[in-house]
Amino acid sequence: MKFFEGEDIFHYSWHQIAEVFWFRYPNPFSKHVRTEDVLYRKVEDGILHTMRLLTKTVRFTSFGYNIAIKNEPIIEESFIDPVNKTIRTCTWNIGTSVARIKELCFYKEREKSSFAVERKAWIERTRLYLPSLFESYLIHRFQKNVQKTCKGLEFVLAQKYPSSVAVEIKPSSFLDKEKICEKARKAKDIAASKTVPLFAAAYAAGADKQG
């Protein structure tokens, strides 16, 4: 079994990531994400529990395999805790017998104006020849996809909070602020939603519980 672990830092507040969490897609760096549907959603003990079905385009073209899987179904389960300012997600694919990859993410406030995403992932199974070699390839591919995921999230954050970009984005970030602003101007069609975020309901429930 192959395993991946890492942490990414974003220079935005926890409330800002909670605002855009449901609007991560579409973005220019995650074009492989095709659809999103909510299967289950409920506020339980002040925590917003959601299960979604996503479909993604997945392709494998290495080690002699020529596999192209379109509309790969992905399950994403998330728990948003507005009182403790954390988000936990568990994601796994269910549509192919080639390999099963499971990913756990933990979003937490790091400082007043930044948050961290702790990420763990592992391959639970593979049915291909030379599984160890193929698992290494999948982990390498996963690492590249993580970079795209982070760039996409930072893009959405910069689009929603352009003033925060100029103040908080540092050169070590995935995208420098000039590129983010340029991409944001070119992607006006991905407008930020003006609806009240659902995590607010969880926050209210948690506040009532504490009171």
Does residue 49 sit within a domain?
Answer: yes
CA distance 14 to 116: 9
Contact by Cβ (8 Å): 121, 103:
yes
CATH number at residue 142: 3.30.530.20
* Average pLDDT in the chain: 76
Does residue 123 sit within a domain?
Answer: yes
Does residue 127 sit within a domain?
Answer: yes
Does residue 180 sit within a domain?
Answer: no
Residue 91: which of 73, 80, 77, 71 has the closest Cα?
77
Which alpha helices (H) appear in the chain, and where do they start and end?
Answer: 14-20, 131-160, 162-168, 177-186, 199-210
Does residue 74 sit within a domain?
Answer: yes
Residue 116, judged by CB atoms within 10 A of its CB (0-12, 13-18, 19+), counts as: middle
User: 124-175 pLDDT, tens per residue?
Assistant: 766 655 566 667 777 777 888 889 999 999 999 999 998 765 333 333 333 4
Q: How far is CA 193 from CA 29, 52, 114, 162, 180, in A?
A: 19, 19, 22, 15, 19
- How many domains is the chain partitioned into structurally? 1
Does residue 207 sit within a domain?
Answer: no
Total-model pTM:
0.70
Rg from Cα positions in the chain = 18
The residue with tokens 């592992």 is: 122
Q: Domain limits at 116?
A: 2-165
Cα 81 to the chain's mean position, in Å?
Answer: 16
Does residue 30 sit within a domain?
Answer: yes
Q: According to the model, what pLDDT value does residue 94 have?
A: 86
Give the tokens for residue 160.
């929603």
Does residue 62 sit within a domain?
Answer: yes
User: 53-105 pLDDT, tens per residue?
Assistant: 998 887 665 555 555 556 789 999 999 999 999 999 999 988 766 678 899 99
Which is more confidently placed, 148 or 192?
Answer: 148
Give the pLDDT mean for 35-47: 94
Share of the chain above pLDDT 70, in %: 64
